[in-house]
A and B are shown apart, each in its own frame.
Chain A
Amino acid sequence: MEHIIIIGNGISGVTVARHIRKLSDKKITIVSAETDYFFSRTALMYVYMGHMKFEHTQPYESWFWEKNNITLKKGFVKHIETATKTLEFAEGDSLKYDKLIIATGSKPNKFGWPGQDLKGVSGLYHKQDLENVEQYAPNNKVCKRAVIVGGGLIGIELAEMLSSRGIPVTFLVREKSFWNGVLPDGESGMINRHIKNHHIDLRLGFNLKEIKSDENGQVSSIIITETGEEIPCNYVGLTAGVSPNIDFIKTSDIELGRGVKVNRFLETSVEDVYAIGDCAEQRDGGIDQRRPIEAVWYTGRMMGETLAQTICGNRIQYKPGHWFNSAKFLDIEYQTYGWVFAKPRENEAHFHWKHEDDTKCITVCYDTTTNLFLGINTFGIRMRHEVFDRWLTEQKDVNYVMDHLAEANFDPEFFKHFEKDILNAFKNNLITA
């Protein structure tokens, strides 16, 4: 029986395993050095905040794996010998595969800052990172202040986590406005204010120069590049993005770039070796307007759904549909469908509407020559994925979308609706523009 080994038990690895099981009775082994069971990485923050226990982040009860005949192996792969199709483990043992799927995800970026490996410095990606935060920032007596470096999705989650335990947080963001490389100004500005309303010390346009240590090799302060200001702190969170977690593959003959190079079929340079999820890098550049490396929950899942077909004899390309994503910035939910870039590109325009309470806004992007609807960012108002996916497929124009916005509303019953305000603002905007 063909033996499929999957390295990594995150959403990509587990999805491909589940789908292979649905389609076949191949022998499946999932290898992980991180945890015994699959858990939702995006939910780690809720464990620290006390919303959930770690068990709650595990989507399947432990009997699930045995019932579906999926073997789980805890171990750290230190070398892949593709010639003999063998995995060598740091623990000393080895395993033979017929097909290998690399789904090892990401690791937090470190840009060579002095002091980046001190005790009390961590990212927030692995379960071990959570344990680090718990150790060095358990409460505001042990941790008088925490500094977070890097203003992205993980940075703001970490800021929310730490402040949930009453720890004062300084949030260093390189950009002039939060996540402004992705979000248009209006949205980014609203989130800046929301962060400050949560009493988080947001420092925009500042970089980390170095992290200083005390006599025990533990963080004692950080220095800001631009001002030279020293901020005493007991924990530093490094959240300046993530990069593929592929160091252990470097000794093999699998071709690597920033990630594991794959073609559209998610096949690597070596036969019978595949890569999916955050660690895979499309060798021909990003698909559609996507990036070559997509470190997103949803794309990891979609690659898993796709690759299972190929593994089970129906060789198909990874062809994701319309772009979508979501996040939550403290109390404000964010969803996006289609493409809205931080600045309108050529022949594009943005329509921005913001509610006076400063917690809800939308940005709609459309083509100024054809009026084609290109995408929407929505904050504080839930929208239907299915409706926007259909409108994008049907290539609706922006007027149609604005007229029918109520159809896409996904807020709970009895919530106040804003479609009329939005439509009026849109019409006025066209008149004045």
Chain B
Amino acid sequence: MTRFNAFNLLKNAVSSNKNWTEQWPDSQPKDEYDVVIVGAGGHGLGAAYYLAKEHGITNVAVIDKGWLGGGNTGRNTTIIRSNYLYDESAKLYDHSVDLWENLSQELNYNVMYSRRGVLMLAHNVHDVQSFSRHIHANRLNGVDNRWLTPQECKDYCPPLSISQHARYPVMGGALQERAGTARHDAVAWGYARGAAARGVDIIQNCAVTAIRRHPDGSVAGVETAKGFIKAKKVAVSAAGHTSVVMQTADVRLPLESYPLQALVSEPVKPIFPCVVMSNAVHAYISQSDKGELVIGSGTDQYTSYSQRGGLPLIEHTVAAITEIFPMFNRMRMLRKWGGIVDVTPDRSAIISKTPVPNLYVNCGWGTGGFKATPGAAHTFAWTIAKDTPHPINAPFTLERFQTGRLIDEAAAAAVAH
């Protein structure tokens, strides 16, 4: 692996960039691995990286049915924040943000973590109550989050309309200054490069068709498009397709898969300094470093595996954006796309051992797992390596749906009288 530094950049520039080497090789499967990870998204690649780096486990393969980072990792709107309500979530996401802040240096790959602040808007009394609850809880958890008046919101994000004549006037907002965005592809590539440099095989275009088990029930390996691969441990991080993969090991997951859509505008000069989210009207927005407005919507109404959402939802999302930011009405949408997100009943993830010995799962990230990539991957690697929960992921078990010990982040979004 060629290290990226100023010297190498210049040296290569002078030699017409002909001497850069590949960031990860095109690996073909070996017969056997200590750990096979299904899904080369940020979560799967990250887990492989930390397995190799922190646990010395390098006989690892990450297998993807497509190309690495081509799932939700490469499709998301990259909002990173940690102002979640419950202690369990706050710990996990804050751990993640801690890792984000050093990730570029850690990976020697610029993931462009941009601490530009995430502002969540309140449009009704219920929002205000809910944000107040979050802000107080965050303060006592040591997580940054504060209340802004409508005028302060406008000062922080000048394109915002705080007109009191709006259909849903802005009543204030919750700001997490430490939050922001990152470059999604770079996260996948940076982890892939780091993992590959430590000996991990990244096997692309190789669908895992089944998890095979020993007669005693424990994991034996995976059937793939390129044949059977033996594995001492199998870890699944396949986002919207996790339930399908896990079913082949007779593990039924409480997941529903929905299309989630996002879009970008044509690029313009900097106009939008931060990230703004509005749950009441269902839209969120930021501006990429390239200049595009990056806009996300809520999930489609119906469950589906097709990475293709409907038009009405997009219309609603754009209407919501132009309602809050009327000046963008004449901007143009450049492209839109969808990903399949895996949603749990309590809207929190599952990072867990499973009833099948040596089978692990990291899924259920739904609409918000990009931000958790480093933290979840880091603790998932621990769980895989040590066959025990990490203190931070321990509450995110699969059993909680049986015991009822839920981490219900969606709950606070219930609607009032």
| Bound pair (A, B) | no
